[in-house]
Amino acid sequence: MAKAAADTPGSDTGHRYTLDDLLTLMGRLRADDGCPWDRRQNWESIVPHTVEEAYEVADAIERHAFAELPGELGDLLFQVVYYAQLGREEARFDFHDIVDTLTAKMIRRHPHVFPGGTLASRRADGELSESEIKARWEALKAEERAARGEATRAVSALDDVPTTLPALSRAAKLGKRAAGQGFDWEDERGAIAKIREELAEVEAELDSGDRQAAREEVGDLLFAVVNLSRQLGGDPEQLLRGTNAKFERRFRHVESAIDAEGRLLDGATLEEMEQHWRAAKRLETSPHRG
């Protein structure tokens, strides 16, 4: 896929490209004499790239690789520009419609900042608490969902939670929406009790020999764990990515330690690998580690 110029800021002449330049570039790529690859793309074919670029932004932030971030954000912005170009070609909308829609929505959802409903309006006297702001935000979103629904259609708090979200993120969003309607535990202890309940059900199905039912119960267990992470104010995707990185770091230590002994990993016993794993944990928790 063609990349925006964000990988190398500006040009050799010191000229800084603008958003208008980026929109012009996109139009050229999709023109009859443009890039054959870009001309073949459609709404569906771009989606995987959009998801990938969003994760690359998250990865750069989590690694604090801020020197890489302008390039990664540029790649993500390029996805929006791509959809805008497709919309313009089909006379559906263009980039300016995207900006207008977004700005109007943010003004509408922040009446405590723009009480007059315009950018020129100023915040009213008095500060709202964060909980009051969140309550207003959710109420306004609910009104928008209701307005988009047909009169004969029941409006659910779970409407417009995208089915294409990663499963962990979607589970967290579903739980948050339900919690906004009062369907939630009083605190994290309730979520922990639910995890224990679901784990017991997994074990019961394993004892019965029904592995399919056990797999379904594992899904329930994962959903309960996601709700605990939400109760604790964590994002399950970020938490699991952090654990993935930790596992990878420690397992690579095990591999290196076995290799330093002149042996292959598949020749080591589980006990030996566990010893090196525990050594890796000690290195990470030592106050003197480099």
Q: Could you tell me if 243 and 200 lie in one domain?
A: no
Kindly state whether residue 106 falls inside one of the protein's structural domains.
no
Structure tokens at 17: 């490209």
Kindly report the CATH number assigned to the domain that includes residue 66. Answer: 1.10.287.1080
| Boundary of a domain, candidates 68, 93, 118 | 93
Cα–Cα nearest to 73, from 150, 155, 4, 2: 4
Type of residue numbered 90: E
Q: Are 271 and 258 in contact (CB under 8 A)?
A: no
Q: Could you tell me if 219 and 246 lie in one domain?
A: no
- Which residue range(s) make up the domain with 67? 5-93
Q: Could you tell me if 225 and 264 lie in one domain?
A: no
Residue 7's pLDDT band, with cuts at 50, 70 and 90, is very low
Kindly state whether residue 152 falls inside one of the protein's structural domains.
no
Number of domains in the chain: 3
| % of the chain at pLDDT higher than 70 | 90
Q: Could you tell me if 24 and 52 lie in one domain?
A: yes
Specify the range with the lowest mean pLDDT, choosing from 68-72, 118-122, 241-245, 276-280: 118-122
Kindly state whether residue 254 falls inside one of the protein's structural domains.
yes
Q: Are 7 and 67 in contact (CB under 8 A)?
A: no
Q: What is the pLDDT of residues 166-190, one digit of tens each?
A: 899 999 999 999 998 899 999 999 9
Please name the residue that has the structure tokens 């579903």: 174
Q: Are 235 and 229 in contact (CB under 8 A)?
A: yes
Region 216-236 average pLDDT: 96
Q: What is the pLDDT of residues 186-203, one digit of tens each?
A: 999 999 999 999 999 999
**81/41 Cα distance (integer angstroms):** 13
**78/53 Cα distance (integer angstroms):** 9
Q: What is the pLDDT of residues 34-76, one digit of tens each?
A: 999 999 999 999 998 998 999 899 989 988 999 999 999 999 9
| Boundary of a domain, candidates 54, 70, 93 | 93
CB-based contacts of 247-253 (< 8 A; 24+ apart in sequence): 249/280, 249/284, 250/277, 250/280, 250/281, 250/284, 251/277, 253/277, 253/279, 253/280, 253/283
The SS3 call for residue 239 is: helix
Is the pLDDT assigned to residue 121 strictly greater than 90? no
Q: Could you tell me if 12 and 72 lie in one domain?
A: yes
Q: Could you tell me if 217 and 242 lie in one domain?
A: no
Q: Could you tell me if 274 and 214 lie in one domain?
A: no
Q: Could you tell me if 249 and 201 lie in one domain?
A: no
Q: What is the pLDDT of residues 256-284, one digit of tens each?
A: 999 999 999 999 999 999 999 999 999 98
pLDDT at 11: 55
Kindly state whether residue 185 falls inside one of the protein's structural domains.
yes
| Boundary of a domain, candidates 93, 128, 157 | 93
Kindly state whether residue 14 falls inside one of the protein's structural domains.
yes
Kindly state whether residue 101 falls inside one of the protein's structural domains.
no
Q: What is the mean pLDDT of the chain?
A: 89
DSSP string of 274-287, one letter each residue? HHHHHHHHHHHH-T
pLDDT at 230: 94
Kindly state whether residue 81 falls inside one of the protein's structural domains.
yes
pLDDT at 93: 97
Please name the residue that has the structure tokens 């943010």: 106
Please name the residue that has the structure tokens 């929006």: 80
Packing angle of the helix pair 69-89, 43-62 (nearest 10 deg): 160
